[in-house]
Amino acid sequence: MPLMRPIFFENEQDLSLMDNAKSYLWGDAFLVTPVVDADIKSISVPLLKGVWFDYFTDDKHQGNQTVNIPTSLKTLPVLVRAGSFIPMIEDIQSTQDYDNSKLTLHYYADESVKNSVGEMYEDDGEMFQANAQGLFELLSFKGNQQSGKLSIQLSRNDNLYVGMPKNRQMTIVIHNWPHQPTKVMVGKKQNKNISWDNKTQALTVKFDWQHQDLTLDVQ
């Protein structure tokens, strides 16, 4: 599967998607609609099924409808599918500065998505055919949201490669969390290093991960 995908890949039986050459999927998580004309104040984006969030504002949209998104010179219409895991690192100037020992994992929560999965592949960036030789790591994420509670499971395969981080400073950002949590557990310990933004409804949890199987529970 190509990383950049026409939206009819989502449903080849829906012939209306065949004619849409303005939007595309970036992986499974992102729906992107570039602005290619001048003096456009807003752009119409036909949403696929499910729930979608504006990447820049966290505005929530129900799928199977067309929404108008204001344009900006600083951003473009990018929507994130509910249930997506988006791993990110801090801003860098070049790939030479790449450091994945500090990882921010965004999760777009929604009650319509009970279970979700995500993965992140890493190698040293230099070894030829690293995956064929087993010189890589695969981080796996699983989400389960029911009855106002959310569990996120973190795990890692047993492969090794030169320069692999021994542990990670994790920042998990849970989008669309509508209330201040009563308790956040990381493994068997309650985590106090949290913050919740009432305006954006984003919950941020920070902790060190030694790459053991670990579950984050939010109530």
Segment 30-50 mean pLDDT: 93
Same domain assignment for residues 72 and 150: no
Same domain, 77 and 92: no
* 74 and 99 inside one domain: no
Question: What are the CA-CA distances from residue 130 to residues 53, 125, 127, 134 (Å)?
Answer: 35, 9, 5, 6
- Residue 89 and residue 77 in one domain: no
> Which pLDDT does position 55 carry in this prediction?
97
- CA–CA separation, 133 and 152 (whole Å): 30
The letter for the amino acid at 49 is K
pLDDT more than 90, % of the chain:
85
- Lowest-confidence range among 48-57, 68-77, 134-143, 175-184? 68-77
Report pLDDT digits (tens) over 185-197.
999 999 999 999 9
Tens-place pLDDT, residues 120-172: 999 998 999 999 999 999 999 999 999 999 999 999 999 999 999 999 999 99
Which domain CATH number covers 163?
2.60.40.1180
Residues 157 and 72 reside in one and the same domain: no
Whole-Å CA distances, 165 to 14, 78, 190: 45, 31, 25
Last residue of a domain, one of 81, 110, 126: 81
Does 160 lie in the same domain as 77?
A: no
Q: What's the domain count of the chain?
A: 2
Q: How many CA atoms lie within 13 A of 4 on its CB side?
A: 7
For the four alpha carbons of 28, 111, 219 and 215, in that order, the dihedral sign comes to negative
Print burial letters for 194-203: b (CB count within 10 Å at least 16), e (below 16): bebeeeebbb
Residue finishing a domain among 23, 58, 81: 81
**Which of 49, 81, 113 corresponds to the end of one domain?**
81
In this structure, the answer to whether residues 36 and 71 fall within a common structural domain is yes
Q: Which two tokens stand for residue 111?
A: 């009650």
Please indicate, yes or no, whether residues 90 and 192 belong to a single structural domain of this protein. Answer: yes
Distances (CA, A) of 132 to 3, 125, 140, 144, 164: 20, 14, 19, 32, 17
pLDDT at 199 over 90: yes
Instruction: Examine the domain organization and report whether 71 and 112 are in the same domain.
Output: no
Using a pLDDT cut of 70, give the percent of the chain over it: 100
Cβ proximity of 54 and 75 under 8 Å: no
The answer to whether residues 97 and 57 belong to one domain is no
pLDDT at 179: 94
Rounded CA separation 30/5 (Å): 10
C-alpha to C-alpha distance for 156 and 119, rounded to whole angstroms: 10
Band (pLDDT 50/70/90 cuts) for residue 15 is: confident
Whether residue 200 has pLDDT greater than 80: yes
49 shares its domain with 100 = no
**Range of 74's domain?**
4-81
Same domain, 33 and 92: no
State the pLDDT at residue 19: 81
